[in-house]
Amino acid sequence: APSVAFLAKCGERGGLRLGCVAECMKQIEWNNKLSNIIVEAGETVTIFDTAEKSGKAIIKVKPNAFVSYFYIPQTVMVEEAEKERELVVEIEEDPQAEVYGAVLSHGEEKYRFNLVQHHKGERSKSKTLFKGVGKDKSLQEFFGMIKIDKTAQQSNAFLENRVLLVSEHATSRAKPELEINANNVKASHAATTGRINEDQLFYLQSRGIDVKTAEELIAKGFLGEIHSRMKSYDLTPSLI
């Protein structure tokens, strides 16, 4: 049986199109072939990627469309010791693209996420918020680029990667980049990696909570922002 990795919901802004459920609810299998997803003009599409397998895709966002993409691995790796997602989002004039990620890695798992938010048209907007929690000896890598063409004047883009390392043996790497070819745009990025605050652990332990449970509570809170955004789209998979 194919491994389902994509669940997409689409509709018009402000609500689901009548008659859209059967037509627009779709599942796409991730594999090593290039998959294209087209968000048509005026549509709103939400994509939930469970990272069942490694793979790559291009999301093409047409004028006045809105897409939200969530990368949320749901299972502990069994077949693959390393998973990689390559995603290119091509944004035409006046649409908006949002990319969110929440990765919890265990053992010696390795996750690599490569993203290009490619602004091609005027007044295009993109936002990326990618969060990770690393446990044991796991590795997380995030490579993100905001690319703005000369034709994409008045565009606005922001890319952010935050990682919390629970174990001293867990590691992360981040490489955010900007490629700006227009002179009237707003674009910025940020990336941080940190460890659990000892004061937070001490506070929870002083309330009778053991170390392991305290670490899980802190990790859950760290990923909570992504979870809240998922719930606003009626997506409720477990993050911890």
Q: Which residue has the tokens 């790559």?
A: 56
Hey, what are 143's tokens? 């490579």
- Tens digit of each residue's pLDDT, the chain (240 residues): 333 345 555 544 433 232 233 334 344 444 445 577 888 898 888 888 888 778 888 999 999 999 999 888 875 544 557 888 999 999 999 999 999 999 999 899 999 999 999 999 999 999 999 999 999 999 999 999 999 999 999 999 999 999 999 988 999 999 999 999 999 999 999 999 999 888 888 889 899 999 889 988 898 889 988 988 887 766 655 555
The pLDDT score that the predictor gives to residue 176 is: 94
Kind of pairing between the strands at 26-29 and 4-12: antiparallel
Q: How many angstroms separate the CA atoms of 197 and 195, rounded? A: 6
Q: How many angstroms separate the CA atoms of 62 and 95, rounded? A: 7
The pLDDT score that the predictor gives to residue 57 is: 85
Q: Which residue has the tokens 């001293």?
A: 168
Q: How many angstroms separate the CA atoms of 89 and 85, rounded? A: 13
Torsion-angle region of residue 64: left (phi > 0), alpha (psi -120 to 50) or beta? left
Nearest to 114 by CA among 141, 86, 140: 86
Q: How many angstroms separate the CA atoms of 9 and 18, rounded? A: 13
The pLDDT score that the predictor gives to residue 15 is: 33
| 239 neighbors 223 (Cβ within 8 angstroms) | yes
pTM of the model: 0.83
